[in-house]
């Protein structure tokens, strides 16, 4: 029976020599110490993940919990948490049939699971922690039970047992070049020395790397020259297409990936007000803004709904990006939710989850109506990373009478994109959906454009067919290969045709 090997573990297995391990920490070798601490860090993260999952509250995705500043050995912790989660149903079955999990161990069951995974399936480093000793004491019983489970399920190895429900198609790694700090050309030059790098054919400054490419610690990322942002997420700011110099609100902004993307699209010119309700997430937002080098972003820790749209300081807001809290059902694979116990219970449509979606969509409607009330807004993007109609088409449909009365209409971002909104009302074809099958996450984008602004912009071009003597920065969400903000002399009609396909 071949045990599965851990992936991406930075603490290499250390061979315990005769006479080892010593009883005191000081005498443990580096491998033992690393394993000892990694198990405890992983257990802390696992507890938060499982509690969030059990209560149906989002306690944060596995990734966000692992990559929080309090976790020191992120890589090892991430690997250990994911591997333990993959094995969790089997481990629970083993503990249930052996009956060794007394109330004493149940109090620290996450550490028991992590250690059991690590000693039974991962690295067999025996250290003198009490949980480690407990697992070692029963190791042979656990192995015998595992063999019986394999026989019962008719699989030849534990590896097969574990991969039964956890295999996910690998996706390319998308990265966005932060043009406030560097150029796409220079990033390609650096990355192509070690990876196959391609330019995305639709989103400017987006690069596509092979699945599994780990960029988390790459200097380009830590220096803020590159952001690890998915393609669908990047389509949102490109769809909004704010002009350099505009005043823009990012209404629900943390962690700030779209805020700094907007800043880059605006070439750092103009003013972005990035609003975030949650205090801790507002700090993350500030950190993201600092890392990006954007100096036209003002962060506000507060409720977007409390911003008075009639306050003269917001009278010049021309564009709003509204990416509110949502169920995250479109990025559940990315968030590794398929590893969570609730996923396997197939309770996605139970009463608790419908109530949660109803509550979210009520907030989304309120926030979208509020965004529409800003007097000078010309362009407004509403986006979610949800696949639920209740958070997407239904929200847009419910505000359409208000939007129409205020002079807005739906426009078509990325007209060449095939997958549009669910056909549940006239005009849903303007909406955009992305799907995990497109190798992306499940995102939804609606673009509202104020008719007066569109009409004014679509006035006949001047005699030379250009926007004016000066080169204008023009945003396109159009055809393959076009840059989002190319310094091109485009005729007004051409520009509008490719940008705001109404």
Ligand X SMILES: C[S@@+](CC[C@H](N)C(=O)[O-])C[C@H]1O[C@@H](n2cnc3c(N)ncnc32)[C@H](O)[C@@H]1O
* Residue numbers at the binding site for ligand X (CB under 6 A): 233, 252-258, 275-278, 281, 303-305, 323-325
Considering the complex, state which of residue 48 and residue 366 has its C-beta at the smaller distance from ligand X: 366
**Termini Cα distance of the chain:** 61
Q: Is 385 a catalytic residue?
A: yes
Residue 306 CB, nearest distance to ligand X (Å)? 8
- In b/e form, how buried is each residue of 95-106, taking b as 16+ CB within 10 angstroms? beeeebbeeebe
Say whether 256 counts as a known binding-site residue: yes
CA neighbours closer than 13 Å in the CB half-sphere of residue 123: 25
CB atoms under 10 Å from CB of 70, counted, come to 8
Nearer residue to ligand X within complex by CB, 118 or 276? 276
Q: Closer to ligand X by CB, 304 or 500: give it.
A: 304
Of 450, 457, 447, nearest in space to 382 by CA: 447
Nearest residue (CB) to ligand X, 235 versus 499: 235
Q: What is the DSSP string of 226-251?
A: EE---HHHHHHHHHH-PPTT-EEEES
> Least distance (Å) from ligand X to the CB of residue 371?
11
State how far the alpha carbon of 6 is from the alpha carbons of 318, 339, 381, in Å. Answer: 50, 15, 42
Q: How far is the CB of 282 from ligand X (least distance, A)?
A: 8
The CA-CA-CA angle for residues 110, 112, 115, to 5°, reads: 105
Q: Tally Cβ neighbours within 10 Å of residue 423.
A: 11
Catalytic annotation, pick one of 82, 87, 150, 385: 385
Determine the Cα–Cα distance for residues 283 and 285; give it in Å rounded to an integer.
5
Compute how many other C-beta atoms are within 10 angstroms of the C-beta atom of residue 194. 10
Which residue is it, tokens 């909004």?
240
Residue 3, marked binder: no
For ligand X, the closer of residues 88 and 300 by Cβ is: 300
Task: Give min distance, CB of 274 to ligand X, in A.
Answer: 9
- Other CB atoms within a 10 A radius of the CB of residue 83 amount to 24
Q: Annotated binding residue at 257?
A: yes
Nearer to ligand X, 85 or 253 (CB): 253
Report the alpha-carbon distance of residue 214 to residue 369 in Å, rounded.
40
Of 6, 479, 474, 416, nearest to 244 (Cα)? 474
Q: Are 41 and 158 in contact (CB under 8 A)?
A: no
258 belongs to an annotated ligand binding site: yes
DSSP 8-state class, residue 6: P
Q: How far is the CB of 363 from ligand X (least distance, A)?
A: 7
Residue of closest CB approach to ligand X? 252
**Cβ contacts of 167-170, under 8 Å, gap ≥ 24:** 168/333, 168/338, 170/211, 170/212
Is 303 annotated among the ligand-binding residues? yes
CA distance 460 to 471: 18
Q: How far is the CB of 439 from ligand X (least distance, A)?
A: 19
**Residue with structure tokens 């070690």?**
194
> In terms of CB distance, is 237 or 454 closer to ligand X?
237
Structure tokens at 154: 């008719």
- 150 versus 175: smaller Cβ distance to ligand X: 175
The β-bridge partners of 175 are 207
Query: Does 252 show up as a binding residue in the annotation?
Result: yes
DSSP state of 72: S
Token pair recorded at residue 497: 């045709």
Q: Is 18 annotated as a binding residue?
A: no
126 is in an annotated binding site: no
Q: Report the Cα 328 to chain-centroid distance in Å.
A: 9
* Shortest Å distance, C-beta 453 to ligand X: 23
Query: Minimum distance between the CB of residue 356 and ligand X, rounded to whole angstroms?
Result: 14
Specify the residue for token string 């991962």.
122
What are the residue numbers of the active site? 385
Binding-site annotation: residue ranges for S-adenosyl-L-methionine: 252-258, 276, 303, 323
Binding-site annotation: residue ranges: 252-258, 276, 303, 323
């Amino acid at each position: 029976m071949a045990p599965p090997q851990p992936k991406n573990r930075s603490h290499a297995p250390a061979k315990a020599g005769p006479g080892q391990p010593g009883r005191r920490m000081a005498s443990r070798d580096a491998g033992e110490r690393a394993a000892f601490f990694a198990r405890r860090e992983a257990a802390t993260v696992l507890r938060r993940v499982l509690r969030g999952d059990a209560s149906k509250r989002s306690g944060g995705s596995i990734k966000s919990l692992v990559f929080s500043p309090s976790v020191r050995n992120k890589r090892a912790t991430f690997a250990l948490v994911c591997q333990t989660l993959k094995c969790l149903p089997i481990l629970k079955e083993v503990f249930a049939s052996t009956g060794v999990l007394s109330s004493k161990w149940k109090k620290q069951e996450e550490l028991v699971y992590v250690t059991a995974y690590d000693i039974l399936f991962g690295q067999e480093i025996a250290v003198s922690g009490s949980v480690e000793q407990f697992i070692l004491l029963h190791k042979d019983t656990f192995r015998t039970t595992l063999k019986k489970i394999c026989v019962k399920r008719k699989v030849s190895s534990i590896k097969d047992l574990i991969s039964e429900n956890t295999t996910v198609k690998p996706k390319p790694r998308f990265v966005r070049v932060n043009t406030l700090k560097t150029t796409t050309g220079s990033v390609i030059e650096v990355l192509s020395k070690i990876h196959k790098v391609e330019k995305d054919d639709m989103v400017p400054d987006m690069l596509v790397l092979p699945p599994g490419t780990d960029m988390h610690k790459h200097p380009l990322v830590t220096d803020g020259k590159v952001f690890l942002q998915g393609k669908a997420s990047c389509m949102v700011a490109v769809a909004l297409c704010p002009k350099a110099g505009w005043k823009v609100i990012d209404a629900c902004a943390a962690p700030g990936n779209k805020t700094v993307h907007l800043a880059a699209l605006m070439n750092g010119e103009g003013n972005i007000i990035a609003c975030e309700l949650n205090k801790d997430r507002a700090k993350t937002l500030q950190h993201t803004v600092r890392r990006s080098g954007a100096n036209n972003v003002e962060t506000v820790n507060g409720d977007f709904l409390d911003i008075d749209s009639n306050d003269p300081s917001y009278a010049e807001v021309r564009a709003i990006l509204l990416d509110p809290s949502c169920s995250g059902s479109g990025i559940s694979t990315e968030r590794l939710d398929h590893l969570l116990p609730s996923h396997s219970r197939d309770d996605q449509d139970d009463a608790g989850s419908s109530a949660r979606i109803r509550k979210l969509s009520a907030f989304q409607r309120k926030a979208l109506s509020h965004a529409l009330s800003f007097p000078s807004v010309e362009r407004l993007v509403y986006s979610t990373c949800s696949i639920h109609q209740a958070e997407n088409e239904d929200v847009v449909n419910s505000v359409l009478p208000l939007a129409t009365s205020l002079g807005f209409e739906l426009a078509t971002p990325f007209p060449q994109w095939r997958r549009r909104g669910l056909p549940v009302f006239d005009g849903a074809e303007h909406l955009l959906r992305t799907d995990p099958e497109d190798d992306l996450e499940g995102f939804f984008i609606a673009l509202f454009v104020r008719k007066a602004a569109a009409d004014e912009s679509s006035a006949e071009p001047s005699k030379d067919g250009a926007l004016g003597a000066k080169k204008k920065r023009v945003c396109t969400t159009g055809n393959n290969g076009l840059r989002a903000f190319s310094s091109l002399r485009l005729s007004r009609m051409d520009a509008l045709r490719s940008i705001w396909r109404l």
